[in-house]
Structures are given as C-alpha cells and as structure tokens.
Structure 1
C-alpha cells in the first residue's frame, strides 16, 4: 500500500522519529542537532525536520551553545520542562502521597495524607487521591489541561479490563478486583483527555531507579521495594520496562507464620517491616509508645546497633540477624531465577536499614544462591530516596508521552459494531 513500509505508515515513522529525538534529548541532553544524528541513527534531514516540528510546538527549546571544530558554535537543545505536567501518586501501606512535576520531574507541589482507614477503604483512598490531585494543581497554579497524565503506584497485582481499565487485586490491603481507574475517572475532576496509568508500586520504583538512579545503564536488574511489605520489579532484555513480581509472597517456610495475604510462610511474614516489628515485640522488644512503623524501626535499629560504648540489645540484634538470613535466601531466589547484573534495595524500610544491614544480608547469599549468578551480581541501595515510588509513577505517563512522539493521548473513538452484528440483531429473540 502506498505510504507504508514494512507495515508502518508515514505517520508511524514520523512518530517514531519524534520519540527517538525526545528520548535522547531527555536522557542525554542538552545536545546539538549535529550529535543527535549519530545518537538516534536518523539522517541529518530527518533530524532537521523533527527538531523544527518540536521547536515550533514548544516541546524542544534552545539551551545555550557549544563550540564546534573550526565552525560556528552549535546550538544545544533540550526538552522544554514547562510544556506539560505530570502527577505521581504512591498508595502506600500507611499513607497516600501525591506529587506534581514538570517534564524534567522537578517537584512543583506535594500532598501527603496518612491512611487511618481500616483495610484501605476503597472510597476513602480514592477520595485521598482525588483531593490530592486537586490540591497539588491548585498549589502550583495552572490548569488541569496542562496535566499530561496521572501515574499511580499501588500494592498488589494490576490487571487490565477492556471496559474498566486498571483493576487492582490487592490481597494484603483487602482489595478484591477494585476498578480503581474507572472509579477515579467517574468521580474525579480531570478532563477526559488526561489518562491514568496504574501499576504495582514496586514496578514504579523500579522504573525510577532504572531511568534516573542506581540502575541506570543496567540491562538486567531487580529492584526491591522494602516497606511495610516487600515486592520486586524485574528488568530483563525481554521486559525492558520491568515487570512486578510478588516476591514477598514467595514461600520461605512451610507451615510458617501467617502472612497478611492469608497464606503461610511468605517471605513478607518474616522480612517486611510490619512483620519484623511484630517479631521483635513477640521476642520482648519495646518500641516507643505511640510510634508509627518508621519510628519503631528507628528504635529497633538504635537498640541493635547503638552508638558509642553502649551494649547492643541482644533481642533486637537476634531478630535483625534472622531477618537478614530470610532476606538473603529471598534475594538468592531472585538471583537463581533471573540472574540479574544488579539488585537494588529501595523503599523507606530498606533505606532506613541501610548498608550495614544489607552487608549482613549479603553474607547469607552464598549459602542459598547458585555460585555462577551469585558471583556476577552486585547488591546495593537505591539512590532516589524513600519517595521514589511517586517519581516512578510519574514516569508512566511520561513514557507514554514519549512513545506518542510528544503528542497527548486522544480519546479512543467509539468502535462501530461489526456488520454481522448489525445484520443479525433483528433475529435475536426478544
């Protein structure tokens, strides 16, 4: 067919070229037109045409110049940070955080609300998300139309329904097939043109660390989210965007402790922050009265690893050492299954436990992992801090925006019924 090449239309090729230029400028810019060619593999003519389009639309702007070899200075280009806004939402175990970013992922506004709702009441959580979106947009000024998309990280498995959109199966928080996307779409105030992207929180953390953090430049990695519970995102050559795995519900002890999901012996029942603190208290530990999970974990770490000449609390130390072995065994399973180059530990609890605890975890890996992949993996902490889930959530609409060549998502047209369906409707018994 005229206008097509290998099944792709001219429109497809133009979109792909725009996407290639935008991604390269975003991740490696500012760059000149001269360097964009080799970096993207596009001809100088294609670069000139694409850049001219993007500059005319305001998506790309000049960012200074650089001297060339014997010629005129070359103009540097970058993605214009103020040409759109992104919203990232983290539905955590204990709070909901909403952040508004510009295209460079600089934070413009933030709202955080504690979750005092028993069992993550669906309507209550949806209300916190909706109110948070309204608050951050109002705090930063501007209009709803500037928002390119909303990304949301949630606990649990996210399935896709053709009519309902993202449906969340969050067993540990009591969510059974919650149609979160349609609920927000039906009751929220954002225009219909603003898309929602909902995925597992470990996946959004993983994407953030792979794009901007300690995973940058790595092709095969596992990013672990260690909070009240535990989860993981696996990035491989076949799944470059990463996929969430319910690592926390891997069985580590037959007929073991009851997990929040209802099963017995899950890793999360031993290694999540909630279970870790429960085991400390069962052994006689005494967290400060009225403290939340973060405060209690701080107290436990202080007791196990005291400063100065103070003696370590043997109870806290024993529970942490046992937890380190469970985590070492759990990471060994990831090593044996996926053979990653790198494992990164993030999440508020993982970062709070820190490198000292991680070293103790690594000590157990040779006991449980196969030698060949274990010798080739490096293990470290994430670099983006405890709030990285919201940054990762914001990358979901950003990735879609780039894939569309910098054009906003258009509402899907209502599909016409097939001819056979229309023809046979009259024969259907009433």
Structure 2
C-alpha cells in the first residue's frame, strides 16, 4: 500500500509539473499569481512546482507586470536554453536535419540531397548521422552551455514517409511501401550509427503526423479542436485531429490518405495499386501527367524546379499566352485534391483543413480557390459549412519542426524530466506517450 501511495504522489507531482510547463510554454510569460487560475492548481502547489522547475533550470524570469496596488509581479517563462532538440525530415528528395532550443528556435541545420539514390536505407542513415554531427557541432559552437552530447539533448524526432509500427519485440519499424521499405528497423539503425549518448531517446513517426503536430502547436491549427493537415510532396499524406487528439502516423491511420481510391482502374500508383489519390495529386504523378499530355519538363530538373516550370507555363505572367495543357493538368489536379479533401470532411468533420508540404505550398496559391470549390461540391452540406481550407503557415520546414515536437511532447508529459532509457515497458512493448495531453493543455500563444 505504501508503494502504491508513493507512486500516486509522484505521479501527481509529475502531472503538476507538466501542467505548469505546458501553460507557460503555450500561454506564457505568466506570473505565479496568474498560474493558479490558469492551471487550476493551488497557490501552494504553484509555488512548489515553480521552485522545482526553476531549480532544474527549466524556468527563468521574463520581466514583470504591474499589480493592483502592490509590488510588480515577476513573469516566468520556459527557459529556451534549458534543452536542445533535433528534428529530422526524411523527405522525398532530401534529408533535412535541424537543431533547436526549447522554444523551437533554429540553432543549426543541414541538408543532404538524395540525388537519385532513392530511399536506400543505408544512405538515409548515413545522411542522418552526418547531419546530426554537423548540427550538433554548429549548435554547440554557438552556445556557452553544455553540448548536445553532454546532457542538453532532450531527444531526436524523425519524420518518415510510410507507416510506423512496432515489431513483435516492441522495436520501432517503418513500412514504406512507396519507397521500398518493409519493416525497416530505423530506430535501431540510428542508435548504432549516430554518435550520440546511448540513452538518447528517438521518436520516429510519419512525416504527415509530424507536420500536423507542428501546425496544431504553432501554425494554422492553433485553437482548433478538429482539423485535417494535408502534406503534398512527391506523394500525399494527411493527419487528422479530433477533439484535440492527433491521429495518423504510428500504426497507420489517416496518414495514408494518399492511398484512398479516387478512380476505379485508374493510374498505377507508386504503391502498386490503381487509382490512388497520390497517383493524381502528388508532385511526381503531376509531372508525369504533364509529360504524358505533351508538356515539356526541363531536362535534369529536380521535382521542385519542374513544378515551378509547370506553374510558369500555366500562368506565364509576362503577357504570353498560358499553356493550355499545363493549365488543364493543374485544374484536374485541383479537382482530385478537392475530392480527396471532401473525404476528410465527410469522415471527420474538421473545422480546418490545412495544406502543407513543399509541393502543397508551391501549388497552393494557384490551386487553392479551385480546391475549395471542389471540396465544397463533393462534401455533404453540413460538414462543408463548418470547414475552412487554407495553406499551412509554417513553410517548407514544418515537418522538421514537427519532428522536434515529438521528443518535446514526451518531455512535457514527463514533467520536464529527460527520458534516459529506450522506449520500452516491462513487457517489452514500446510505451506510447500521451501526446494528446500536451494539446489539451495548449493555451493561446
């Protein structure tokens, strides 16, 4: 009985620390006096938690505010320099690695283009290894505090294409059918290759889910309880948020939205099936359709350059006549995207749909008006009247930022305690952090 009671007290303390950290992070700076009503904790509990967090170096003073008739009240905030995070985006054309402080301010970045190597997992692991080494060195050189290898690193988040799951031993594996990955033990490979402390926590999840978490925390999803965040790159993915809880990514789910069937016996998709949304709306398929219709993709151009050329052909902007083939391909793509978004609207009834990913942001200004019209036309009237379709707000780095929020969310859930062991329970299965608790504690920022 004593053991059970001690665990309950410890869990309560961790919960109080998590509550204060989250409120200050998303709603701060804030005074001690304001923290009580904002968190529902007693003034005594607030004082104790603030003292603990300050002693741990997680809180710092951030000025003061006048009070009614008394002394000015000191404002508190989460100390940005109290921890570091690394976010990795395993994209379709490059691997991007960024180091951040606790406020998600970028400290350093490195990019490694894939250059025709595809998604050979050994190449990806080497790119991540070299990128982490580069950003760690540059971030450490710019700081007077302890380096990433000396205890300041909270964790590494990795956004990947495909489904993230657990094998029979509870280890993280990635199933990326479109890139040729079948139960790839990415976390184990990174632990063996990356020169970081052996107990560094790694959080691997689907890139669309990472994008969604970033937009919900810092971008166009703030304040929404129900949303869908769409990632359009070479392929297509999405994550769904219902009641403040992020779905998709690990163990499949709406992250594989790109493989909904939109055309029976339609185009062959990269996954091997026919008629997937990705076979019509992803950048790779979009460029293929343009070429098949007679369009001329610049020789040796990468996908981003080729998409820019397609947009320029459809809307020259120099007084010349638009290319009707390019315009027709883009208009058809807008209809497919609108129809795909209508599936999300009809199934989940989101308040907002946000379109992100490098291709989504590049195509969005041209396609979004038509996408909205088609989404409305294909949706049921009642959920369609509730939804707003917009571009994401975080730009092309959103997946990297979202990947960094994966260890940050776990850090908050643990009350600001660093995880010092791999994500395993006594039964051998991986522990599932309570991501939703962070969102439910989110305040206006």
- TM-score, normalisation: structure 1: 0.93
Shift of 1:118: 3.4
Shift of 1:57: 1.1
The whole-number CA distance in structure 2 between the counterparts of 1:117 and 1:358 is 31
Equivalent residue number for residue 234 of structure 2: 228
Equivalent residue number for residue 397 of structure 2: 387
The whole-number CA distance in structure 1 between the counterparts of 2:169 and 2:345 is 38
TM-superposition CA deviations, 1:292-346 (whole Å, max 9, x none): 1111111111111121432111000000111111111101111111110100000
Over alpha carbons, which structure has the higher Rg?
A: 1
CA-based RMSD: 1.8
TM-superposition CA deviations, 1:14-58 (whole Å, max 9, x none): 000000000011111110001111111100000000000111111
Please state if 1:10 is matched with 2:9: yes
Equivalent residue number for residue 37 of structure 2: 38
Secondary structure of the 1:9 match is: helix
Unaligned runs of 5+ in 1: 418-430
- Work out whether residues 81 and 104 of structure 1, in 8 Å CA contact, stay in contact via their aligned partners in 2: yes
Secondary structure of the 1:315 match is: helix
- Work out whether residues 355 and 380 of structure 1, in 8 Å CA contact, stay in contact via their aligned partners in 2: no
Shift of 1:119: 3.7
Aligned length: 415
Secondary structure of the 1:387 match is: helix
TM-superposition CA deviations, 1:125-176 (whole Å, max 9, x none): 1111111111100112124132110000000000023646220000011001
Secondary structure of the 2:81 match is: coil
- What are the within-5 Å matches in structure 2 for residues 77-96 of structure 1? 77-96=76-95
The whole-number CA distance in structure 1 between the counterparts of 2:423 and 2:221 is 38
- Work out whether residues 117 and 124 of structure 1, in 8 Å CA contact, stay in contact via their aligned partners in 2: no
Equivalent residue number for residue 71 of structure 1: 70
Equivalent residue number for residue 441 of structure 2: none
- Work out whether residues 239 and 246 of structure 2, in 8 Å CA contact, stay in contact via their aligned partners in 1: no
Please state if 1:102 is matched with 2:108: no
Equivalent residue number for residue 245 of structure 2: 240
Equivalent residue number for residue 157 of structure 2: 151
Q: Tell me which of 159, 172, 177 is aligned to 2:183.
A: 177
The whole-number CA distance in structure 1 between the counterparts of 2:228 and 2:11 is 33
Please state if 1:359 is matched with 2:365: no
- Work out whether residues 214 and 405 of structure 2, in 8 Å CA contact, stay in contact via their aligned partners in 1: yes
Secondary structure of the 2:82 match is: coil
The whole-number CA distance in structure 2 between the counterparts of 1:272 and 1:71 is 60
Higher relative contact order, structure no. (Cα contacts within 8 Å, ≥ 6 residues apart): 2
- Work out whether residues 230 and 238 of structure 2, in 8 Å CA contact, stay in contact via their aligned partners in 1: yes
- Work out whether residues 201 and 420 of structure 2, in 8 Å CA contact, stay in contact via their aligned partners in 1: no
- What are the within-5 Å matches in structure 2 for residues 211-226 of structure 1? 211-226=217-232
Unaligned runs of 5+ in 2: 141-146, 428-445
Equivalent residue number for residue 204 of structure 1: 210
The whole-number CA distance in structure 2 between the counterparts of 1:213 and 1:395 is 13
TM-superposition CA deviations, 1:275-298 (whole Å, max 9, x none): 001100111111222211111111
